[in-house]
Amino acid sequence: MAYGLRLAERGRYTTSPNPRVGCVLVRDGEIVGEGFHARAGGPHAEVHALRAAGERARGATAYVTLEPCSHVGRTPACAPQLVEAGVARVVTAMNDPNPQVAGRGHAILREAGVEVTEAIAPAAARALNPGFVSRMERGRPWVTVKLAQSLDGRSALASGESQWITGEAARRDVQFLRARQCAVLSGIDTVLTDSARLNVRLSADELGIAGEVRQPARVVLDSGLRLPPFAAIFDAPGAVWIYTRDANEGVHHEALLKREATLIEAPTAPGLGLDLDFILSDLARREINEVLVEAGAKLAGAFVAAGLCDELVVYQAPVLLGHQARPALALPEPSALVDASRWTLVDETRLGEDLRLTLRPAR
């Protein structure tokens, strides 16, 4: 199963909106077939493994990182195909997180006389697909908030100068972080001020994938529809989705539609701009599993303050910008230290001169 999990990870930049899944077929202690899901619309991991095994699948044990699907989607269901191929036993790392179909894959296998061992490594399997699991279980994407800051927690000088605080290695790492996402989200001010394009600028070779680079959707929160159709974001590949208060309001509305931007109306939350809960639910409906927030202090802080940040990735440069520089995060102050927003550091990694800190909300 450990090998299956590693295989699944190979789909990290490409399976969206599908989950990353790996499958290993073993007969008489020998691997007779293996596969991972690479792209939505393409064969599932089980099918790759069955094809590789051919007749040797008969009597084999299939190790699958996710309960095999029971429903016909863009491709035929996997559970019946495992039965048909004569697989004797199926071991899964986790159950299907979709509450509407969970258990059906396992049931189909059992009814056909296949021995089933369920969910032997749920933590590792869930970690492969935090976004898919989140979308299925919570109806919203997995939200990662990225910050690039100085040692003293600043992201720009008071003048606004911010390019660059972190070094090349850190900025390259952000590209890999982006490439995993289904969507990259920012606010209109950042998009305008930084001429942000928010796309993945790595090649398929650099990502180690076959085929074309999948661009995450670029999501802009723009309540007043100020994004001009000549913004830099349109010069880079990938869909642009704009959440706004009134899609017919702004002067650029027609021109934006011509640039193939998707305009989506969102309600406003009192004093907080657009309603983030609504937007996350809507992104889930649009099959966004994982979303990266690369925004200014205010919007990034709003995600954190609302408890909507599942992971904080902080690129910290060993530089001091001084107490008058702009904070990387605007966050209301807690009334006492015990009420402060506490996190758990899950990883620290050096990237050139900088440090990447990955944190999750403390329980």
- Residues forming the active site: 46
DSSP string of 162-176? Answer: -TTSS-HHHHHHHHH
Q: Is the peptide bond before 122 cis (omega within 30 degrees of 0)?
A: no
Among 2, 112, 158, 232, binds a copy of itself (CB under 8 A): 158
Q: Across the strands, what pairs with 315?
A: 148, 356
CB of 164 to a copy of itself, least distance (A): 8
Q: Per-residue contact track with a copy of itself, 291 to 320, x per CB under 8 A?
A: ------x---x--x---------x---xxx
Number of residues that bind a copy of itself (CB under 8 A): 48
CB atoms within 10 A of CB 341: 15
Q: Please identify, among the stretches 77-85, 114-122, 156-164, 218-226, the one whose residues bind a copy of itself according to the rule CB under 8 A.
A: 156-164
Is 33 annotated to bind a ligand? Reply is: no
Position 329 contacts a copy of itself (CB under 8 A):
yes
Is 148 annotated to bind a ligand? Reply is: yes
Calpha distance 187→298 (Å, rounded): 9
Sheet holding 142-150, edge to edge: 262-265, 240-244, 217-221, 183-187, 290-293, 142-150, 311-317, 354-361
Position 353 contacts a copy of itself (CB under 8 A):
yes
Position 337 contacts a copy of itself (CB under 8 A):
yes
Q: Are 299 and 132 in contact (CB under 8 A)?
A: no
Position 272 contacts a copy of itself (CB under 8 A):
no
CB of 302 to a copy of itself, least distance (A): 12
Calpha distance 283→253 (Å, rounded): 21
Position 193 contacts a copy of itself (CB under 8 A):
no
CB of 177 to a copy of itself, least distance (A): 18
Is 271 annotated to bind a ligand? Reply is: no
Q: What's the chain's Rg over C-alpha atoms? A: 22
Q: Are 227 and 207 in contact (CB under 8 A)?
A: no
Our CB check for a copy of itself shows the closer of 216 and 301 to be: 301
Residues across the chain:
363
Calpha distance 75→331 (Å, rounded): 46
Is 23 annotated to bind a ligand? Reply is: no
Binding footprint of a copy of itself on the chain (CB under 8 A): 149-154, 157-158, 161-165, 297, 301, 304, 314, 318-325, 327-334, 336-337, 340-345, 348, 350, 353, 355, 357, 359, 362
Q: Which residues are annotated as a binding site for Zn(2+)?
A: 44, 69, 78
Which residues make up each annotated binding site for substrate? 162, 178, 198, 201, 294
